Amino acid sequence: MLIGVVVSSIMIAAMYTSYTVINNSYSRVTDVAAISRSGHDIVSMMMRDIRMAGFKYYYGYNAENEALPFDQRIPRQDNLNFIAGDTDSTKEKSHAPIVIYRNKLNYAAGDVGSPPSGYDSTTDEDAKWNIRGSEEDVCCDRIHIVYGDFNAEDDQPYKKYRITYYAKPLSRNGDKYYGVFRSQESWIHDPDDGPDYGKWTSKANECSGDCYTGELVREYLTDMSFVAFGKYGEVINADPEANPEKIFDIRSVDVSMTFRSPSKKGFFTKTGGNRIIKSLGRKVSTYTDKFFRDTVFVTVHTRNIGGFL
């Protein structure tokens, strides 16, 4: 009986060890797949928006519309005023199709300031979190995407939207990381108040309910980079204030996003081994923790940029 108990105990211990190893491997594989899948999902969302950058809608000739009194007709094309955003006073109202700001967290115009439900409060000092492996190495880039649309039933039939992707520090239960946020604003223009009147707004009641402030779309961000290229493959500084003559030469945007695992359990058996992450235009970051990280990279071609909006 004693021999049977001992043998059974050894078998059970071996089975439990095997189960633990297999379960940890399965958890690791499923977590890696989930990180990669969710990273590709948000990049796909960005690709759709970037491809729309610079799009203009033309109503054109319509016999029924032309039969209406002149003051009731829908204009054949977009007559919204264009603001280049090439000065310090106009950059917040810029209509440039793509604007990229390097190393910029948060977005004051579309960020309500308070963290999403379930997260701890954050401050500007949180930007110094040692999330990317170095205190002076700051995540992330911010991108603005502007394109046009049309709604014949609206008081302002020609619509113009600005989509913004940006990063914001998040904290929950002592775990600190970044989140990817998305804002959608609409340009409100009243020609009766003069050709230069207008504003970007994210208030739903001012833009027919299709705008919103910063919406969290993905957690556990480590880095987010955007680099614009011209038709000859040259890097373009996509800041209309610093580089207004090049802003409409953008032909593609490289997007790089790095996400980490929600939990460090089961990924690496020990700390101390250096692992590096390469980003676009930022220095290499070195990590010694147990978190797994995965980078998604894609080149998006801008199909609608080539002239003024």
Tell me the per-residue pLDDT of 195-235, one tens digit each, with 9 for 90 and over. 557 788 888 777 777 788 888 898 888 889 999 999 888 99
Which tens digit of pLDDT belongs to each residue from 138-187? 678 999 999 998 888 777 888 889 999 998 888 888 788 888 999 999 98
In the numeric block, which tokens belong to residue 3? 């021999």
Query: 203 with 211: CB under 8 angstroms?
Result: yes
Percent composition of the chain: helix, strand, coil (DSSP 3-state, to 5): 25, 30, 45
Q: Tell me the pLDDT of the chain averaged across its residues.
A: 80
- The arithmetic mean of pLDDT across residues 13-18, rounded, is 76
pLDDT classification of 110: cutoffs 50, 70, 90: very low
- Please report the pLDDT score of residue 131 as a whole number: 52
- Entry pTM: 0.83
Q: For 19-65, how does the pLDDT look when each residue is reduced to its tens digit (9 = 90+)?
A: 666 666 666 666 666 676 777 888 889 999 999 999 988 888 888 88
**Residue 71 pLDDT level (bands cut at 50, 70, 90):** confident
Strand-pairing partners, residue 257, are: 224, 296
Buried-exposed string 149-168: b where 16+ CB fall within 10 A, e elsewhere = beeeeeebebbbbbbbbbbb
Residue 253 has pLDDT above 90, yes or no: yes
Q: What is the pLDDT of residue 138?
A: 65
Higher pLDDT, 114 or 234: 234
- 120 pLDDT band (50/70/90 cuts)? confident
Q: Is pLDDT above 70 for 269? A: no
Q: What is the DSSP letter of 81?
A: P
In percent, how much of the chain has pLDDT > 90?
Answer: 18
pLDDT for the residue 247: 85
